[in-house]
Amino acid sequence: MLETGRPHMWLDARHLGAEFWERRFPTILATARSYGIDPVTQLIPVAPACHYASGGVRTDLLGRTDLPGLYATGEVACSGVHGANRLASNSLLEGLVFSRRIAEVLPAELPAWREPGADRRTAGLVAGDVRRELQETMSSRVGVLRSAPGLAEAGVVLDKLAGHAAETVDQASWEATNLLTISAALADAAALRQETRGSHWREDFPERDDAHWAGHFDVRMDDGATTVTFAPAPATDGGLA
């Protein structure tokens, strides 16, 4: 894709035949056809996409965050069970285990119910129409391959997008703001991690460096200020892959 400048590559699955597609991948087949592409007879345009967030809100082994009363589980949480790259289907196990653990401690820890008030604040929200540029920037600069120049370019764009204040409160502005918040944290941590580890691939630092980077980055955002600290992992026989 980088060599050709195209937004996708072509996947040829025509040799599988109609019967195989209809039996094994009926949902994918129907989705592709809804977009005017028939995998049985045509090439399929494919491109990398974000499938899972390996980081998230830091929790303990009972799903607690450092904010009393707030619990997190599943993809939103960083429980520490995945390491630098999630194994397939482990997210399902994580959700089952930590959801149950949270449910077990809630009766004793959950505060009394209070009716929430309406929140119509716009301070800090960015306009929903920044989403496309944000996605394009993260895909091209903070995606599969990362480097210091690309991450620096991403930082400039993210700072610019943060200045596009929302004029109204709606779902699009909240989603764009959340995406921008996570993108900024991810880009900052990726720039500091000068090594390749798991799904984090630095073209300018292609080797894993346990001596300096075996651990996690904790990102804290408070009143617009971002603080990133490195937390070394406890020594183990296998290390962090």
pLDDT per residue as tens digits for the range 114-159:
887 766 655 689 999 999 999 999 999 999 899 999 999 999 999 9
C-beta neighbour count of 133 within 10 angstroms: 14
Q: Residue 94 in contact with residue 74, Cβ under 8 Å?
A: yes
**Residue whose C-alpha is closest to residue 124's, from 185, 172, 175, 166:** 166
Q: What was the pLDDT predicted at 118?
A: 65
Q: How does residue 238 score in pLDDT terms, banded at 50, 70 and 90?
A: low
Token pair belonging to 152: 């620096």
If one counts every other C-beta atom within 10 angstroms of the C-beta of residue 58, the result is 18
State the first-to-last Cα distance of the chain, in angstroms, to the nearest integer.
27
The predicted model scores a pTM of 0.82
Q: Render pLDDT for 148-201 as a digit per residue (tens, 0 to 9).
A: 999 999 999 999 999 999 998 899 999 999 999 999 999 999 999 999 999 999
**pLDDT score of 122:** 57
Give the C-alpha separation, 173 to 28, whole Å: 30
Domains detected in the chain: 2-46 (no CATH), 57-108 (no CATH), 128-232 (1.20.58.100)
How many Cα atoms within 13 Å fall on the side-chain side of residue 29? 15
Separation between Cα atoms, residue 33 and residue 29, nearest integer Å: 6
